[in-house]
């Protein structure tokens, strides 16, 4: 869970801590971003704040070339977080995952250092 306090700390944390939120593939200089917020705290901007901080560290702190993420089509709030931090939709993987017995489409987003806006 990422709370406001924790997400604010993220910006100041070192690269070792950031790895808990990024699955880093150094050979490709890329990382996959993931986040989860406890339901009582939804809608407060916490995921956006934390995701922005982690992406900032991925580029400025770790020197990565790309961060990507995906969300279920059925989870538009997660996609909205990706859009708000400047990630671009790159495609849809149709029926890519089976979740609770149902085939789900995955929307893929990516961001490069040049895409980051202050
Ligand atoms: C998705 C999740 C991370 C969002 O966390 P959060 O802290 O509530 O996100 P934020 O408050 O930063 O931003 C949410 C945005 O989604 C929008 N949103 C919420 N429900 C929405 C919906 N049904 N459709 C479209 N947008 C929606 C909000 O309005 C907000 O955008 P805005 O600031 O432009 O109004 C959180 O709901 C969660 O942890 N869900 C369960 C795990 C999960 O889905 N993880 C992501 C896997 S990819």
Residues contacting 106, CB < 8 A, separation 6+: 70, 71, 72, 73, 92, 93, 96, 97
pTM: 0.86
Q: Which atom of ligand 1 is nearest to the CA of 75?
A: 44
The pLDDT of residue 117: 81
CA of 46 to the centre of ligand 1 (A): 9
The pLDDT of residue 1: 30
Span 10-37, pLDDT tens digits: 444 444 444 457 889 999 999 999 988 8
> Which protein residues touch ligand 1 with a CB less than 6 Å away?
35-37, 42-48, 71, 75-78, 80-81, 84
CA of 27 to the centre of ligand 1 (A): 31
Structural domains in the chain?
4-115 (3.40.630.30)
**What average pLDDT does the segment 94-103 reach?**
95
**What average pLDDT does the segment 59-86 reach?**
95
pLDDT surpasses 90 at 4: no
The pLDDT of residue 67: 96
Which residues lie across from 93 on neighbouring strands?
A: 106
Region class of 87: left (phi > 0), else alpha (psi between -120 and 50), else beta: beta
The C-alpha atoms of residue 71 and residue 107 are separated, in whole angstroms, by: 5
């Amino acid at each position: 869970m990422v709370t406001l306090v924790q997400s604010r700390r993220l910006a100041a944390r070192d690269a070792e801590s950031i790895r808990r939120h990024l699955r880093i593939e150094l050979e490709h200089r890329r990382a996959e971003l993931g986040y989860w917020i406890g339901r009582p705290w939804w809608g407060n901007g916490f995921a956006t704040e934390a995701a922005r901080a982690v992406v900032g560290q991925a580029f400025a702190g770790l020197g990565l070339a790309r961060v990507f993420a995906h969300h279920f089509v059925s989870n538009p709030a997660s996609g909205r977080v990706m859009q708000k931090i400047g990630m671009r939709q790159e495609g849809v993987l149709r029926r890519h995952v089976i979740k609770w017995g149902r085939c789900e489409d995955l929307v893929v987003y990516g961001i490069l250092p040049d895409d980051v806006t202050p």
